[in-house]
Amino acid sequence: MEITSELRGGLLAVTVMDNRIDAAGAIRFKEDMRQIIETPSARVLLDLSNVTFLDSSGLGAVVAVRKLLGEARPLDLAGLTPTVQKVFRLTRMDTVFTIYPVLEDGLKNAS
Amino acid sequence: MQADLADGPEGTIACLTLPARTEAIYAGLQTLLAQPPLAHLDNNLRGAAELALAEALNNIVEHGYAGQSGDIDIEIHQEKDGLFCQIHDAGRAFPGGKLPKGIFPDLKGELPEGGFGWALIHAVAEDICYERCHRRNRTAFRIRANQDEAIGQTI
């Protein structure tokens, strides 16, 4: 899975380049994220704007990454596409995560 | 939405048989999405169909066959106001011979990493039915064209 990351101040901005996080890619996503978040940062912002499809396995993997980071290091999300947004809304995970419309909004909030 | 459906003739059917493996489900969904009737749909309906199919198929791979080899037969019929999806497999029956109730897990306390699959199917699909016959499972559901309305009724 192709994932890019960039440290901006205390914020680690992570962008998923693939267009799906599903049952076939969820474990890989979690493992890749585990390595990426080894870079110390106060917060992590995950840009999902390229992801057009996320199923329950993908959602579980995002939740798992949030748990890996722990309470002290929040995982925020940005750029949810309509089908991904629907999964977050239906499962009410949109009430658990801070979600920004686009990556830039999340970056502004970092400063 | 109705206009998009009219692009493909009512009655169009897509059929596909897949081996019960996660990677095969991924590839199979891509094949189905690229051909009628799914290819003609607007993104909202197509996304709902992809979600319901992915959840149902992955559930069969993980729990129905649970590592055993076998096939999954998928049929997707275009109807006047949506899609009718039918899946046959020879994996284990659902526990108790009944479909999972599909209640979304509670988010209080430790966040759940699973248990969302069938709840998502119930949220986006209608007329969900399941039967076991001659050691095979038949699971079927409809995805309505007006998705927002369907979701409104669920919440």
Q: B108-127: per-residue pLDDT in tens?
A: 999 999 999 999 999 999 99
Read off the pTM: 0.91
Dump pLDDT digits (tens) for B56-104. 999 999 999 999 999 999 999 999 889 999 999 999 999 999 999 899 9
pLDDT above 70 for B6: no
pLDDT band per the 50, 70, 90 thresholds, residue B152? very low
Cα separation, A22 vs A15, in Å, equals 16
What mean pLDDT is predicted for residues B24-36? 95
Structure-model confidence comparison of residues B4 and A52, the more confident one: A52
**B114/A56 Cβ within 8 A:** yes
Residues B154, A63: C-beta atoms closer than 8 Å: no
**Nearest chain B Cα distance for residue A64, angstroms:** 6
Q: pLDDT, tens digit, for every residue of A11-36? A: 999 999 999 999 999 999 999 999 99
| Closest Cβ opposite residue A24 in set B23, B51, B113 | B23
This model of the complex carries an ipTM of 0.93
pLDDT bucket at A110, cuts 50 / 70 / 90: low
- Closest approach of chain B CAs to the CA of A61, in angstroms? 7
| Rounded-to-integer distance, Cα B83 and Cα B1, Å | 13
In this complex, how many residue pairs, one in chain A and one in chain B, have their CB atoms less than 8 Å apart?
85
Buried b or exposed e, range A44-75, using 16+ CB within 10 angstroms: bbbbbeebbbbbbbbbbbbbbbbeebeeeeeb
Coil, helix or strand at residue A49: coil
Per-residue pLDDT averaged across A85-110, rounded? 93
Note whether A106 and A78 are within 8 A (CB): yes
Contact B83, B76 (CB under 8 A): yes
Which pLDDT does position B101 carry in this prediction?
A: 87
Q: How far off is chain B from A91, nearest CA to CA, in Å?
A: 6
DSSP state of A24: T
Question: Which of B57, B35, B56 lies closest to B46 in space, CA to CA?
Answer: B35
